[in-house]
Amino acid sequence: MTILSPIMSFVVDKEIGFPIPSEKEKLNKALKRYRNILALHPERTDAPEIMFGIADLLIGRGEAGDWAEAMKILDRILLRNPSEYLKARALVEKAELLIGNFAEADNAISLCEKARKILGSDLSEFFTAKTYMVEAELRFSRHGAKDWERALDLINHVLKEKRAHWYFRGRAFLSKAEITLYQKPRDLKTPVKLCDASIKELKSRQDDYFSQKARVLKAEILMRRGKKVDLDRAAKLFTEVIKMPLTYKDLVARAKLNLAEITNNPRASKLLKEVSEMEGLDPYLTEKAHLAAATLLDKKRDRKHKR
């Protein structure tokens, strides 16, 4: 779901093979290598750093069970009394894994605050910028009293700092688009522009989760505007997300559901069937696919009856 930290991204990019290996193959190679090193020399002085690298790779791969394993590794790192810098990185990684876990929202926000206190205020530093955006996303997700106000403060702080790490500037534009959309439902120009800014900032990582999410959100806003040119642009964006080699189930499901809504049968029926058969989705998305399919079938019956 998230980009690898700069060091692990460099390590993965150096993986070679013939033919050119896929991103997942490169991640798997790096994981195997780091696990072998740790298995052979578990007590080496840099073991916590290697453990962090493994956790980072697992988060980046995002297969079933990867995040749970990464969380356990991060907890083990923190129990080993690591350096302050490694401690801060582990804290913010843990916080990001807790986004969407409402029961842990307070704890996750506290982890961000602790990490930021250690890391300081240099937003060009990857993990420092990450503390701001993870906390903002946690607060947006929790939506408690003044959470969105605080989230916007954090987001704007990142956007006002020109030296802020580009990846988190991209996430900041996207998060601001979401909050703006919810706060001012009639103002559709601003969130579209913010999505465009996010897409531009993340252009070097077009297969990243947040880059794809910005496309889905922009397309959903264009759908809401409803003009033919907007619907055509939305359909193109949804199709781009569906065809990406690195797929994110929730985003692909959203793209297919929305595309079905603006597409004529039989393609719409095919898209809805594909979503209903996807495993591991939020039940809301699966149910939405079933309801949309039922509505489509009713419309088809009504047309036949009128004839």
Of residues 300 and 295, more confidently modeled: 295
What's the pLDDT score for residue 260? 93
Measured distance CA(242)–CA(282) in Å, rounded: 18
What's the pLDDT score for residue 16? 47
Q: How confident is the model at residue 20 (pLDDT cuts 50, 70, 90)?
A: very low
* pTM of the predicted protein model: 0.87
Name the average pLDDT for the chain.
Answer: 88
Q: What is the chain's Cα-based Rg?
A: 21
Number of C-beta neighbours around residue 302 at 10 A: 10
- Coil, helix or strand for 226? coil
As a whole number, mean pLDDT of residues 141-147 equals 91
Phi/psi-derived region of residue 222, left when phi > 0, alpha when psi is between -120 and 50, beta in every other case: alpha
What's the pLDDT score for residue 11? 54
What's the pLDDT score for residue 237? 97
Helix (H) / strand (E) element for 261: namely: helix 249-261
Q: How confident is the model at residue 58 (pLDDT cuts 50, 70, 90)?
A: very high
158 alpha carbon, distance to own chain's centre? 18
Percentage above 90 pLDDT, the chain: 66
What's the pLDDT score for residue 5? 66
Measured distance CA(70)–CA(203) in Å, rounded: 27
pLDDT at 141 over 60: yes
Any idea what the Cα angle at residue 96 is, between residues 217 and 192, rounded to 5°? 15
Any idea what the Cα angle at residue 306 is, between residues 301 and 307, rounded to 5°? 100
pLDDT at 307 over 70: no
Lowest mean pLDDT among 70-79, 114-123, 179-188: 179-188
pLDDT at 6 over 60: no
Q: Beta strands of the chain (E only): which ranges?
A: none
Give the contacts of 94 (CB within 8 A, at least 6 positions apart): 71, 74, 75, 108, 111
The token pair that represents 211 in the structure block: 């880059």
